Structure 1
Amino acid sequence: MLRFTINPINDINIDDLRIVLYNYIISKQLNEKLLIRINDLEKDKIAEGKDKETLEILSLFSIDYENTIYQSDNLKYHQKLAMQLMNQKKAFACFCSDEKLEELKGEAKKQNKPFEYDGFCETLSDETVLNVNAPFTVRIKKPETKIEFNNLLKEKLSFSPSEIDSFVILNHDKKPTYNYACSVDDMLYDISTVIRKEAYSVNSAKQIHIRNLLNYDKEINYIHIASLESKNNYTIKSLIDEGFLPAAIANYLVLLGNESHDELFTIEDAIEWFDIKKISKKVLHFDIDKLKSLNKKHLEEIDEMRLSKILGFADVDIGKLAKLFLEDSNTIKEIKEKINLVFSQKSNYQGSNEDFQQIKKCLRNAPFIETFEELKTYILNKTNLKKENIITPLTYLLIGEEKNKDISKIYLLIKNYLGEIIK
């Protein structure tokens, strides 16, 4: 089984989605299940409804998973195994105050060294521990030797005992810390493969150390991938709100750092050819212009009725209109803005407003007219306007823009809505 952890504090961002897409693809390739794990350990920091919102976003990308579990539901297991580690002298009670720990961190910073717990409480006798009434955390004993494991994308990773350190596994309130909860939950749910960002390699080593002390001997395959950098750290919600299709976003994120025979593909296609061992090992950079280009291509390929429904209609002609507007649009939002202009109230015209008002009055009483040429002829016959004075204000009246080389084609697609357009 594979797993992806949702943090219900923040919106899911592009790098998070890239990781879950990789997990989904690999789970399908390995014919294994995917578990969504929700990190709700810090209840006071959780944004209400953020977990459900994130799950809804995953459904937009057709990411199916076996189950959703909340880490807090496993609290009794976290605490039980922590007690086991303490009884076996593999973990210990730490009474150091926050002030003392901050002091140690400050000293380490002055010496330009990483913080390392000084081990003060590790040597306290059982009698001393029993006689101390102060609140305490539980710390794991740091390893005696290096923690080494294989990263499937690179050579073996190795972390010294100092890098692992005697880190906290239970806080003062006896709730588990993230790394400890993850290590226990990976055991409980028989996780076989973990795909994470390269920056979290040391966390993987800490989790391995915990499982080693718990005598859990199943080897978990770790795949640590290079990070995805973005100047704006786009969230998936913001991209969807801007009118990017989930299919295009997924296409772009899987394409990043990969080689594909086709630039345009679905996640189902990617399951057939994707090889995670071949993805780039270098830091990747998010390019919004490349995403816009891919999004446009997906919109070009989409069925016209479906596109119409995405835009809030159920008319093939509106879908065809959207395709015409794609010439200088890249997203659903940009197309919607153009369609909204078509149906907007156009009370005045900055050019010859008198000509504009005449055309508008004329068309309010016009019968159904088949073509744009016939429309122009009708206006000429019903008004005293000259032919050269009609095109610009008429184009503005129909689409909210003064010029468009496709106005004849556009008219064929909006003629049934003329009553709504001429307000």
Structure 2
Amino acid sequence: MLRFAPSPTGDMHTGNLRAAVFNYILAKQRNEKFLLRIEDTDTARNIEGKDKDIMFLLNLFGITWDNLVYQSHNFPRHRQLAEYLIQKGDAFYCYCTKEFLDQKRELAKANHQAFRYDDDWAELEKDKNPHPVVRLRAPKEQMGFHDAIKGDITFAPSEIDSFIILKEDGIPTYNFACAVDDMLYDIDFIVRGEDHVSNTPKQILIHQCLNYDKTMQFAHLPIILNEEGKKMSKRDNASSVQWLLDCGFLPQAIVNYLVLMGNKTPCEVFTLKECMEWFDITKIAKAPARFDIDKLKFLNREHFKRLNEQDLAVLLGYKDSAIGALAKLYLQEASTLNEIREKVDLIFAKKGLLLAQYKESAKTENAEILEFESQVKTLQDTLLTMLNQDCSKTEFDTFKSNAMQNSGLKGKAFFKPLRFLLTGLAHGPELSDLFPILRLYLKDIVRN
């Protein structure tokens, strides 16, 4: 079984989503079940409702799960197994206070030494601290594992000291709860970020002490860099999945990019279902991958092209499939749902209001602006008169010729206000390309 184990302590990041996507693909490829495990052991930082947000986003990206568990429901089992390890002698109570450990850290720092916990400290402050933690004894031998992406990784005994598995309040630490739950739910392949590499030997040690000998596979995904080449952080907008969605990136394009990033793929544009046929976790590059927003925009346009016109119209907030066809004409210059929606909405906006905004943005009413305003009003009156007739089947050349003749406007004095009245913009796709669709809505478009 594979699992995705998010924490309900904040918004989902692109790195989290990438791990979810890879685990889901592998589960499908291996014909195994997929577990969603909400890791809610950090009770102080849990945010109410974040678990529901996680589930909503996963469904939005086409990721479904066979089982759902909350880690906190297994607290009694975690404590039972911790007690078992104490009885075995593999774990022990530690009464060190925070102040005591802080002093030891400062001393190590002053001596230019790495801080290492010493098992001999365990009961030095037993009289001062009635709430001990439980620590698992450090390994005496080298620990190691094979990573499907990074290859063989080893840790010397000196790199792992006796670590906490139960906190003073009886709540398990991340490593203990994670290792126990992976064992309880028969997880056999773990795909997660490379920030967990140092946790892996600790979790393997927990399994060994619990006499759990099932072989697990691991794959630790390289970090994602921002556009400046630095480790992506919460300060980077693109690190937030919700920000990408709010900007108008399609879920299928985001998934496409997360699979493509730092990967060798047989094609560039694909869906989640399509990539299940060829995805290979071992082909993910070891080096960090840089998040390229321009590449994501390109993929977003490609997935817009794949959408049928009715679905695209609905995404834009319209009912008619013709609006979807109209929107696709703007893919030359727009790459997100927001950008396309803005252009389509301007087509149907009140042109008198747009003209007022245009004048206001210019600050001063110079002769050129006043002349343009006059040309727009003249042409608008002309078009409104023409629209008393049925223009739904009129060809653009005929429409243009009649409008030019009836308004008395020519050249730039005609085409600039015509584009403004038909699209609300000064530039865009060829009017001859837009008109076959625009003519169906002319009475709504050319209005005060």
Normalised TM-score (structure 2):
0.88
1:359 counterpart = 2:383: no
Tell whether the 8 Å contact from 1:93 to 1:121 is kept in structure 2 after alignment.
Answer: no
Cα distance in 2 for partners of 1:253, 1:186 equals: 25
2:443 is matched with 419
Q: CA deviation at 1:121?
A: 4.1
Tell whether the 8 Å contact from 2:86 to 2:92 is kept in structure 1 after alignment.
Answer: yes
1:408 counterpart = 2:404: no
Amino acid corresponding to residue 420 of structure 2 in structure 1: Y
Cα distance in 1 for partners of 2:57, 2:266 equals: 28
1:107 counterpart = 2:104: no
1:392 counterpart = 2:397: no
2:74 is matched with 74
Deviations 1:152-184 (A, max 9, x none): 334432212332211111112111110110011
Moved more, 103-112 or 46-55: 103-112
Runs of 4+ in 1 over 6 A off after TM superposition: none
Tell whether the 8 Å contact from 1:317 to 1:414 is kept in structure 2 after alignment.
Answer: no
Tell whether the 8 Å contact from 1:147 to 1:161 is kept in structure 2 after alignment.
Answer: yes
Tell whether the 8 Å contact from 2:330 to 2:429 is kept in structure 1 after alignment.
Answer: no
Amino acid corresponding to residue 345 of structure 2 in structure 1: N
2:4 is matched with 4
1:161 is matched with 157
2:14 is matched with 14
Please tell me the root mean square deviation across aligned C-alpha atoms, in Å: 2.1
Moved more, 262-271 or 152-161: 152-161
Q: CA deviation at 1:82?
A: 0.9
The total of aligned residue pairs comes to 419
1:145 is matched with 141
Cα distance in 2 for partners of 1:44, 1:361 equals: 65
Q: 2:258 aligns with which of 253, 256, 271?
A: 253
1:376 is matched with 400
Q: CA deviation at 1:141?
A: 1.2
Q: 1:345 aligns with which of 347, 350, 374?
A: 350
| Structure 1 unaligned regions, length at least 5 | none
Q: Which residues in structure 2 correspond to 1:8-407 (within 5 Å)?
A: 8-122=8-122, 134-231=130-227, 232=236, 233-347=238-352, 348=355, 350=369, 351-365=371-385, 366-367=387-388, 368-369=390-391, 370-380=394-404, 382-386=406-410, 388-407=412-431
Cα distance in 1 for partners of 2:429, 2:253 equals: 29
Tell whether the 8 Å contact from 1:164 to 1:202 is kept in structure 2 after alignment.
Answer: no
Q: CA deviation at 1:28?
A: 1.1
Q: CA deviation at 1:388?
A: 4.9
Cα distance in 2 for partners of 1:379, 1:260 equals: 53
Structure 2 residue matching 1:148: 3-state secondary structure = strand
Aligned-residue sequence identity (percent) comes to 39
Tell whether the 8 Å contact from 1:139 to 1:169 is kept in structure 2 after alignment.
Answer: yes
Cα distance in 1 for partners of 2:253, 2:429 equals: 29
Moved more, 54-63 or 232-241: 232-241
Distance 1:372 1:155, change over 3 A: closer
Amino acid corresponding to residue 426 of structure 2 in structure 1: E
Q: CA deviation at 1:213?
A: 1.0
